Chains A and B, each alone.
Chain A
Amino acid sequence: MNEPAGSSLGKDAWMRLRANRMAMISLFLFLIILLFSLLGPLFSKYRYDEQDLEKVFLAPGAEHWFGTDNLGRDLFARTSHGGRISLAVGILATFVSLVIGVTYGMVSGYNGGKIDAFLMRIVDILYSLPFTIFVILLMVMFGRNFLLLFLAIGAVEWLTMARITRAQTISLKRAEFVLAAHALGYSHTRILFHHILPNLLGPIIVYATLTVPAVMLLEAVLSFLGLGVQAPMSSWGSLIKEGAEKMDAAPWLLSFPGLFFCISLFSLNFIGDGLRDALDPKSSKD
């Protein structure tokens, strides 16, 4: 109750997030990984697909910071390149799921009644499907296509987003400030976009932060099954697969991409948790 004067809810949330040490460390780690993926190739002498058959399975050293693989490719360049792909898939697919899920959930929740029942029936049914199987099937049958990959993943992840958005929309729709808006004669579009959507942002941001690692995991699963990006391109998933196959001979092939992958999942999950606490003051008060 004693919030400082003149502050928006966003500022309050940021203050609370700042106080969460784990979330701040995670944010820092994630920024490092982001920078490593974006800028890493600039610092590397080697390209990610540059082969040198005379320098296979070199251990990490001054020349090759992370060592080399069975074709003599530089693992530093490949890990950094793989990070770009993994993060890009994670963020793009999350964005796809966000757009579909939020629109769907808002339409369903706001309209209510038969429309809502029908739309949610569809989500329920889709929920009960073995979706990973469908994604795998899609990737196997139609080839390994980057666009298809994140469309397919996005299509799976939007379901939860739609459910969350719907539930929130319904409770907001019944909120007295929305009734007051109706009483003041505001149009439905105004109410939806000016009154309901801004109040949805909190849960949406939190869930989106938690979806990115989930998507990255799914991409890695597909890559591990040999269904993700194609060599010589790399993603963390495909690198881990290669590493796991050769871990007896060259353990660094597993450990470097594995470490980067795990740290990004770790930090994203902690950021998501921190955001949830920060945006929901009730949960942080105890």
Chain B
Amino acid sequence: MRSFILSRILQAIPTLLAIATITFFMTRFAPGGPFDSEKAIPEEIKVQLESHFGLDLPLFHQYLLYMKNLLRGDLGPSFKYLGWQVSELIGISFPVSMTLGTCALVIALIIGLPAGIIAALRKNTIWDYLPMSLAMIGICLPTFVLGPLLILVFSSTLNLLPPLGWYSWSDLVLPSCTLGLFYAAYVARLTRAGMLETLKHDYIRTARAKGASPARVVYKHALRAGLLPVVTFLGPAFAGLVSGSFIIESIFFIPGLGKFFVTAAFNRDYTMVLGTVLFYATLIVSLNLLIDFLQAWLDPKAREQK
């Protein structure tokens, strides 16, 4: 087990370095530069700015310089928000996205898990069809349709909740519901499928033959294996929540990392783009690692092999 963890962590390092390299060259080979768009800047100031940020150096030299700083944990200064370090910008905006993502995930699990379990246990009854149809609708109703709809209903019409911004706790409700409901639908479907698969197993019949009550069969015997697919899904789900936050943040005008990233990309803010990509990559790679361990912990067989 320990060598497994170690090897996975060691593998993550070259992965992250490769991402840094690819992103670095991708941004540099794309047309346009950070100081091209604003016509207000006179030519000599632009030259000065570029030499200040080292953009006049040969490309490979820039790359080496960036990597050297990166290995020291320095993401460099932002090209657009002059005077700000990239790490500072991430430090401000990420907690916003994180709060949103966590709330959405909690909503998804609170709604999705029970719905899926009930649907599996009451297969082919109204308790199956109803939640599963709702789930299908949830999956087919993308956040950018659901978001505006929720605003229309709860803010414009009912005046219950604020439509946009990020000032108080009530601002959290609509965006995290929008994001969470989609994933709740997904979790419900996965839970149902996983539970149905598990309930087919012979050992469930053994449990029934022992005289276990239906509730005991579910929580003692079926739940653990039935939820494995959901656990596996958590990795991609979190990555999805991160990218989903781009949409949500732009619908609800929330100053999260997603919004910063898109703006940075449009502005050719090289260091900010690179920093954000690396930050996301690190986050997702470590989350995947965590989920691998969780899976191994849930499955005694895998635990031993690893």
Number of A-B contacts (CB under 8 A): 109
By a CB distance below 8 angstroms, the chain B residues around A265 are 139-140, 142
A270 at the interface (CB under 8 A from B): yes
Contact residue among A132, A137, A221 (Cβ-Cβ distance under 8 Å from B142):
A221
Let me know if A125 and B265 touch, CB within 8 A: no
Residues on A with C-beta less than 8 A from B285 are: 128
Chain A residues within 8 Å of chain B by Cβ, number:
39
CA separation between A213 and B141, bound complex, in Å?
A: 11
Do B262 and A140 touch across chains, with their CB atoms under 8 A apart?
Answer: yes
Segment with Cβ contacts to B, from A104-112, A174-182, A240-248: A240-248
Closest Cβ neighbor of A126 among chain B residues:
B15
The answer to the question of A42 belonging to the interface, with a C-beta cut-off of 8 Å to chain B, is no
Tell me the nearest residue of chain B to A259, going by C-beta.
B145
Question: Given A129-B284, A130-B280, A266-B137: A141 and B265 within 8 A (CB)?
Answer: yes
B243-255 interface bits toward A, Cβ cutoff 8 Å, 1 = contact, 0 = none: 1001100110000
User: Which has the most chain A C-beta neighbours within 10 Å: B148, B251, B268, B281?
Assistant: B148
CA distance A265 to B141 in the complex (A): 8
* Residues A221 and B242 in contact in the complex (CB < 8 Å), given A137-B23, A138-B26: no
Check if B169 is an interface residue, CB within 8 A of chain A: no
- Choose one: A140, A221, A247, A248; the contact of B247 (CB below 8 Å): A221
| B124 (CB) vs chain A CBs: closest residue | A286
Set A132, A137, A244: member contacting B26, Cβ < 8 A: A137
Chain A nearest CB from B158 CB (Å) reads 14
Instruction: Say whether, besides A221-B142, A269-B139, A270-B136, A128 and B288 are in contact (CB < 8 Å).
Output: yes
Specify which of B15, B137, B156, B277 is in contact with A133 (CB 8 Å cutoff). B277
B239 interface residue per 8 A CB criterion = yes
Chain A nearest CB: distance from B204 CB in Å? 13
The contact string, 1 if C-beta is below 8 Å from chain A, for chain B 128-152, is: 0000000011011110110111001
B40 at the interface (CB under 8 A from A): no
Q: Is A258 an interface residue (CB 8 A)?
A: yes
The minimal Cβ–Cβ distance linking B37 to chain A, given in whole angstroms, is: 13
| Chain B residues with a Cβ under 8 A of chain A | 11, 15, 18-19, 23, 26-27, 30-31, 136-137, 139-142, 144-145, 147-149, 152, 156, 200, 239-240, 242-243, 246-247, 250-251, 261-262, 265-266, 268, 273, 276-277, 280-281, 284-285, 288
A-B pairs with beta carbons under 8 Å apart, 23 shown: A129-B284, A130-B280, A132-B246, A133-B243, A136-B246, A136-B265, A137-B23, A137-B26, A140-B265, A141-B26, A141-B27, A141-B265, A143-B31, A213-B140, A221-B247, A240-B145, A243-B148, A244-B144, A247-B152, A254-B149, A265-B139, A265-B142, A266-B140
Interface of A toward B, CB cutoff 8 Å: 125, 127-130, 132-134, 136-138, 140-143, 213, 217, 220-221, 224-225, 237, 240-241, 243-244, 247-248, 251, 254, 258, 261-263, 265-266, 269-270, 286
15 further A-B contacts with Cβ under 8 Å, apart from A130-B243, A241-B144, are: A130-B239, A132-B240, A133-B243, A133-B276, A137-B277, A140-B265, A141-B31, A141-B268, A220-B144, A237-B144, A244-B148, A247-B152, A248-B152, A254-B149, A265-B140
Pick the 10 closest A-B CB pairs, nearest first: A141-B30, A132-B243, A265-B140, A140-B265, A244-B148, A130-B280, A266-B140, A224-B144, A258-B145, A262-B140
